């Protein structure tokens, strides 16, 4: 960097709809229960891209680049709230060998809300002159484009192909090569050129308010799984593994939740995921604790087994450093990690890109909120329309049934497929 970043955050009057400020074609957004941060318009101050082959560990390269960018920044932030001050939106690839880029994006304008307080952050290079008059926030809103619909169908992995891959994974598990592997399948399709992608973000955010709704560099989704959050050195994570679809009525719901809570297969799968997170966090934390038994997380379309983890950051690390230590967890890769990644590369006929990779934001102090990019799709402009690739996966352990795992992926596709329609 030839010049440092200059950052100013100021509190403003409450804003009803943060997404009204986002760029319709390339929104940058991070939302949960109406709070969060959104880039205003399409002006970008800095983009850090780490392509395949550029670094042995792209997460480490991203963390290093962010430290260099943030350390000299001149920050005037009167609020000190999560998401205020200097922030970057990030999306990292699932696999270090992916052809997709891992990316951090620093917008020129960010509008945010946290527990009833709203602010605007202006970010510029010190070599760029400050505007003579600051634009008022309300002047930056963009009217929503017309409603649109998209269609998706089987992609590189057909439903039958997926079940065949599950059977091959079960053979490897029986042979002792690994204990668990998470296998995904894809749906591909398109939406009309010029579609206002904020409509999809809004549908996911309002329909699934307990998830992290995100939009970063064309990756849009609503993830129920927190990878890690860091705020004032407090570290938290939420582990999800073990899933069942919701019932059609209250009685069926009770049966489904009871089945999940007592399923040896799902409890084993969940324990693998919890232990992988604890093992990854221990070197970086102290007073690390997790609940002894998982709880049931109820979403509009399914139940998950969930465990919350909390600790205190022990070293000089940031949320990005913890992202690098944690990813990939057993919840999205498997156990042991190296064997699971090898199996995924052989059994999935596509590059996951950023699906199941870390997505979130980081600030200058290393605080941040990061989820695992699930219930999501990648949107890529094409010649005549916008290409869509959506992903969903399921954890395969001893006792898994190929047809049941396929049905689980259908349930997980539903939030995005419904929103596209």
pLDDT digit string, tens, across residues 21-54: 999 999 999 999 999 999 999 999 999 999 987 7
pLDDT tens sequence across 223-261: 988 999 999 889 999 888 888 888 888 999 999 999 999
Q: Name the band, by pLDDT with cuts 50, 70 and 90, for residue 134.
A: low
Long-range CB contacts for residues 20-23, cutoff 8 Å, separation at least 24:
20/141, 20/142, 20/144, 20/198, 21/109, 21/111, 21/137, 21/140, 21/141, 21/142, 22/142, 22/198, 22/201, 22/215, 23/142
pLDDT of res. 417:
93
pLDDT of res. 295:
93
- For 191, phi then psi, to 5°, come to -130, 160
pLDDT of res. 132:
54
pLDDT tens sequence across 204-214: 999 999 899 99
Mean pLDDT of the chain, nearest integer: 92
Rg, C-alpha atoms of the chain: 21
Who wins on pLDDT, 241 or 183?
A: 183
Read off the tokens for 252.
């069926």
Strand 295-298 relative to strand 302-313: parallel, antiparallel, unpaired?
antiparallel
pLDDT of 2 over the 60 cut: no
Read off the tokens for 135.
């634009």
If DSSP codes are grouped into helix, strand and coil, which group holds residue 418? helix
Q: Name the band, by pLDDT with cuts 50, 70 and 90, for residue 168.
A: very high
Which range among 10-14, 107-111, 276-280, 389-393 shows the weakest confidence by mean pLDDT? 276-280
- In terms of Cβ atoms closer than 10 Å to its own Cβ (0-12, 13-18, 19+), residue 33 is exposed
Counting residues of the chain whose pLDDT is more than 90, the rounded percentage is: 77
Q: Name the band, by pLDDT with cuts 50, 70 and 90, for residue 138.
A: low
Read off the tokens for 76.
């005037």
Q: Name the band, by pLDDT with cuts 50, 70 and 90, for residue 286.
A: confident
Q: Name the band, by pLDDT with cuts 50, 70 and 90, for residue 131.
A: low
pLDDT of res. 346:
97
pLDDT of res. 1:
43
């Amino acid at each position: 960097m030839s010049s440092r970043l200059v950052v100013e955050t100021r509190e403003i009057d409450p804003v009803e709809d943060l997404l009204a400020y986002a760029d319709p074609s390339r929104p940058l957004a991070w939302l949960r229960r109406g709070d969060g941060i959104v880039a205003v318009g399409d002006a970008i101050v800095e983009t850090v891209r780490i392509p395949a082959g550029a670094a042995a560990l792209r997460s480490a390269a991203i963390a290093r680049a962010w430290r260099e960018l943030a350390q000299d920044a001149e920050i005037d932030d009167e609020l000190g709230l999560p998401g205020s001050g200097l922030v970057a939106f990030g999306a990292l690839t699932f696999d270090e060998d992916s052809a997709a880029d891992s990316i951090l994006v620093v917008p020129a304008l960010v509008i945010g809300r946290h527990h009833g307080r709203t602010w605007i952050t202006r970010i510029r290079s010190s070599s760029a002159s400050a505007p003579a008059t600051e634009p008022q926030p309300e002047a930056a809103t963009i009217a929503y484009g017309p409603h649109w619909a998209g269609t998706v169908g089987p992609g590189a992995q057909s439903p039958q192909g997926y079940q065949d891959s599950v059977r091959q994974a079960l053979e490897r598990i029986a042979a002792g090569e690994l204990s668990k592997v998470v296998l995904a399948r894809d749906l591909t399709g398109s939406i009309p050129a010029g579609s206002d992608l904020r409509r999809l973000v809004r549908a996911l955010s309002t329909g699934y308010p307990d998830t992290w709704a995100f939009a970063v560099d064309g990756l849009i989704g609503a993830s129920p799984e927190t990878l890690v959050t860091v705020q004032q050195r407090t570290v938290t994570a939420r582990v999800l593994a073990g899933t069942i679809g919701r019932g059609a009525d209250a009685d069926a719901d009770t049966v489904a939740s009871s089945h999940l809570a007592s399923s040896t297969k799902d409890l084993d799968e969940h324990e693998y995921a919890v232990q992988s997170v604890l093992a990854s966090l221990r070197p970086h934390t102290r007073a690390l604790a997790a609940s002894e038994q998982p709880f049931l997380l109820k979403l509009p379309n399914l139940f998950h087994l969930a465990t919350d983890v909390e600790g205190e950051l022990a070293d000089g690390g940031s949320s990005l450093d913890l992202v690098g230590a944690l990813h990939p967890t057993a919840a999205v890769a498997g156990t042991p990690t190296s064997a699971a990644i090898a199996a995924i590369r052989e059994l999935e006929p596509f590059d996951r890109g950023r699906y199941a990779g870390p997505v979130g934001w980081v600030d200058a102090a290393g605080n941040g909120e990061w989820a695992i990019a699930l219930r999501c799709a990648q949107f890529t402009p094409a010649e005549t329309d916008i290409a869509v690739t959506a992903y969903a996966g399921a954890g395969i352990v001893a006792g898994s049934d190929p047809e049941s795992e396929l049905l689980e992926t259908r349930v997980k596709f539903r939030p995005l497929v419904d929103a596209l329609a």
